[in-house]
Amino acid sequence: MGRHRTAAGVSTPLLRLDGLSRHFGGLMVLQDVNLEIPRGGIFGLIGPNGAGKTTVFNLITGLLAPTSGRIEFEHHSLSGCSPHRITRLGIARTFQNIRLFREMSLLENVMVGLHAKLGYRTHDLILATGHFRRDERAARERARELLSWVRLDHKLSDRADNLSYGDQRKLELARALASNPKLLLLDEPVAGMNSGEKDALMSDVRRISERGYTIFMIEHDMRFVMGLCQDIAVLNFGRIIARGAPDAIRVNAEVIEAYLGREDDDAAPDGAPGAAA
Amino acid sequence: MTVAWFGTFWDVYSNLVLSVGTNALLALSIWLTLACGMLSIANAAFMAIGAYASALLTLNFGWPFPVALAAGMAAPALMAFLIGRPTLRLSGVYLAMATLAFGEVVRIVLLNTDRVTGGALGLNGIPQLTRWWHVALALAVTLAVLWRMRRSRIGRAFEAIKEDETAAGLMGIDVAGYKMLAFVLGAAIAGLAGALNAHLTFFIGPGEYGFDRAVEILTMAILGGIGSLTGPVVGAVILTLLPELLRALQNFRLVFNGLILVLIVLFLPRGIWDTERLRRWAGIVRRQA
């Protein structure tokens, strides 16, 4: 729906993190992170637990402010922007721990996501003018369409908290798509899913990407990430340690070390001082 | 015959019936903030501001009633806008505390500005300009506007904020703006109720708008149920009529009044008008029939 990918747009990055750092007290969660995410395709950010991946998303979406550094989205600086403004600029996300509007129906959840797309004014809604009714009808249609993308359109009026875990993740995905984002952030989209659900979601995500959405995902599941992403960055202890195509990442010595530890780690007794040295 | 009967009934009970109307407005005023997930108990104070503002205008300056009513809505709305900026950042009990404190400030100011407000003696001889259809019209318009809002992006934004503020913000909803809207609109409706009530009762004093009234307004909404617009209205009807219906119990009526409320809250925690439960009951009845 109205997505543009100009030839010039491909060369300039959609999102640019420039020397991004975030400290929590004395804890340096992110240190000097530089990352450019191109327009189009699926980009992956992986790394061990506690590497700071979700913090990257929280900084991009404005839930946290960086300690230093800049975030640029299509030449807009995002520093000091509130989350709802950032969403309106074209960034949407899902959450690692699902955050649906649990007491609302599936259709209403997605329609909340369409909030900024509804252009009618207050007097339109009080008088229920044609403008209001047209917009609301179009929003309902669009919500139904987005739910069909994740195969949930047969449960429109169910309450969100009655869905299975996997379906809740898919509903979150549909809701995030409602703002028609230029950049879609997925925070561990397959966490807690069984392998059948993972395979189904993989083809859903691929189809969404083919519709022209740029996707940036954090994921633990290597099969999922390697199967979907053309480009992967690895975060460890708040620093980017590698970046490249899946095949290159898979054999990168530093990445293997970050995930599995160094070989001589195993030989040292647990917690012995200087064991890693 | 029936007309004569109605005439007698109206002479005795017109004030009670119209109080049901103004109380319903008050319950709806707090429903707005509750629908947005905010526990604000400043509505008695907003009612006071509306009552005093309009009564002073008709009493001292002889302003026409409609203009005084408009002022009775505008004054508390403006006040809500001013105190909303700092206080709406708070949530939960902290917001409740701050709004409660604001209510006390308003009451004490009314008490101590004798020259304007009459202090503890209040304002006497307010022209009785409120007619039954004023109350009915105010209630109908309020219900219509709120009903429309609920079924629009504003209503969905309120509900989203109530369920998860962070997620709502990430849907592109201006959380602070919508909270302010609910707060200011609630204040205007409470002010309207105050202005109508003041021109019904001949007399107003600061004691009517204290902590008791604030809690009563909250109770009406919670008792009726905040899941729909019908709930607060039902709550207002019950809470206004209950003391009258229990008149036979004389000195014990407030005890029974309280007891009934405790039982309702214990056994119907989502309020009397809980649409989901009502639907379930209707389903059971239909199946048995």
Low-confidence ranges of chain B (pLDDT < 50): none
Annotation: CATH topology of B18-288: ABC transporter involved in vitamin B12 uptake, BtuC (1.10.3470)
The residue that leads in pLDDT, B6 or A65, is A65
B141 token code pair: 């318009």
Interface contact flag, B148 A125, Cβ < 8 Å: yes
pLDDT tens per residue across span B239-261? 999 888 888 887 887 788 788 87
ipTM of the complex: 0.87
For residue B91, give Cα distances in angstroms to A100, A177, B39: 20, 30, 8
At residue B19, the pLDDT reads 94
User: Residue A44: phi, psi to the nearest 5?
Assistant: -115, 145
Which whole number is the average pLDDT over A98-122? 93
Range from A64-78, A117-131, A186-200, B155-169 carrying the lowest mean pLDDT: A117-131
Structure tokens at B58: 């008709």
B60-115 pLDDT tens trace: 999 999 999 999 999 999 999 999 999 999 988 999 999 999 999 999 999 999 99
CB contact under 8 A, B148 and A102: no
Report the distance separating Cα B273 and Cα B221, nearest Å. 10
Element (H, E) at A115: none
Task: Using pLDDT thresholds of 50, 70 and 90, give the confidence band for residue A239.
Answer: very high
Q: What does DSSP say about strands A68-73 and A15-24: parallel, antiparallel, or unpaired?
A: antiparallel
Q: Beta strand pairing status for A91-93 and A183-187?
A: parallel
- For chain A, helix (H) and strand (E) counts, in that order, are 12, 10
Distance (Å, whole) CA A160 – CA A158: 6
Q: How many CB pairs under 8 A join A and B?
A: 84
Q: Determine, for residues B170 and A111 on separate chains, whether the beta-carbon distance falls below 8 Å.
A: no
Q: Which of B144, B166, B171 sits opposite A115 (nearest CB)?
A: B171
CA distance B270 to B95: 22
- Min Cα distance A72 → chain B (Å) is 18
Alpha carbon B67 to chain centroid, angstroms? 21
Contact A136/B152, CB-based, under 8 Å? yes
Cα torsion A260, A265, A269, A275: sign: negative
Judged by CB atoms closer than 8 Å, whether chains meet at B169 and A128 is answered as: no
> Would the CB atoms of A99 and B153 count as touching at under 8 Å?
no
For A160, nearest residue in chain B (alpha carbons): B163
End-to-end Cα, chain B, rounded Å: 40
Assigned token pair, A7: 């030839």
Instruction: At B272, give phi and psi (nearest 5°).
Output: -70, -45
Residue A196: pLDDT over 50: yes
A63 and chain B in contact, CB less than 8 A = yes
Contact A70, A257 (CB under 8 A): no
> DSSP per residue over A16-45, as a string?
EEEEEEEEETTEEEEEEEEEEE-SSSEEEE
Q: How far is B279 from chain A (nearest CA, A)?
A: 15
Three-state DSSP at A241 gives strand
Residue pair A178/A109 in contact by the 8 Å Cβ criterion: no
CATH fold group of domain A99-182:
Rossmann fold (3.40.50)
- The pLDDT of residue B1 is 57
For A161-199, give the DSSP string. GGS-HHHHHHHHHHHHHTT--SEEEEESTTTT--HHHHH
**Which residue of A87, A100, A104 is in closest CB contact with B159?**
A104
